[in-house]
Amino acid sequence: MSIRLTEDEAWAVLEAAHTGILTTLRRDGSPVTLPTWFVVDDDRTICFTTFDGTKKVQRIANDPRASFLVEAGERWAELRAVHLNGVIEPIEGDEAVGAVQAALDAKYASFRTPARDMPETTRKHYAAKRFFRLVPGPRLLTWDNRRMQLGPGS
């Protein structure tokens, strides 16, 4: 039995995941890996926001190549993950930005700290958002160890 997920299963895992791990590249090619909140759109791309003036925005502008990972499970026999490589592009236009913002709000509203509870400088920092999508390449790397036929005591 294969531990690989079908493409539809992989995208279902991505859609259900809470936090993704996004890797972007510095000018010298070294990776920077950070957690990010995200949504999957109808075109099967990963959409996220970040804030103007951040190093992440600079890295994306310099080299749009990136990778993305979601994983779940604690014991080896429970581990599953979806990893993809792709290119990040800006999301532009009020309708597209609004759709992504609405999806992010629906997914994460109960996890956010209310703006009124943040220091003024933090509120200002988070107010200047940039919207991006990671367009994946043709190959997803997936596994789900729960599919294995394991013996007793596994």
Q: Could you report the per-residue pLDDT of 117-148, keeping only the tens digit for each? A: 989 888 887 777 899 999 999 999 999 999 98
How far apart, in whole angstroms, are the C-alpha atoms of residue 89 and residue 45? Answer: 10
Q: Is 91 left (phi over 0), alpha (psi -120 to 50) or beta?
A: beta
User: pLDDT value at position 86?
Assistant: 98
User: pLDDT value at position 37?
Assistant: 97
Rounded to an integer, the average pLDDT of 65-91 is: 96
Taking 70 as the threshold, does the pLDDT of residue 151 lie above it?
A: no
Rounded to an integer, the average pLDDT of 8-13 is: 96
Domain ranges of the chain: 7-147
Residue 71: C-alpha distances to residues 14, 20, 35 (Å): 9, 8, 12
Q: Could you report the per-residue pLDDT of 28-76, keeping only the tens digit for each? A: 999 999 999 999 998 899 999 998 888 999 999 999 999 999 999 999 9
Taking 70 as the threshold, does the pLDDT of residue 26 lie above it?
A: yes
Rounded to an integer, the average pLDDT of 2-24 is: 96
Lowest mean pLDDT among 9-18, 56-65, 145-154: 145-154
Domain 7-147 has what CATH class?
Answer: mainly beta
Reduced to 3 states, what is the DSSP secondary structure of residue 24?
strand
Global pTM reads 0.90
How far apart, in whole angstroms, are the C-alpha atoms of residue 120 and residue 112? Answer: 16
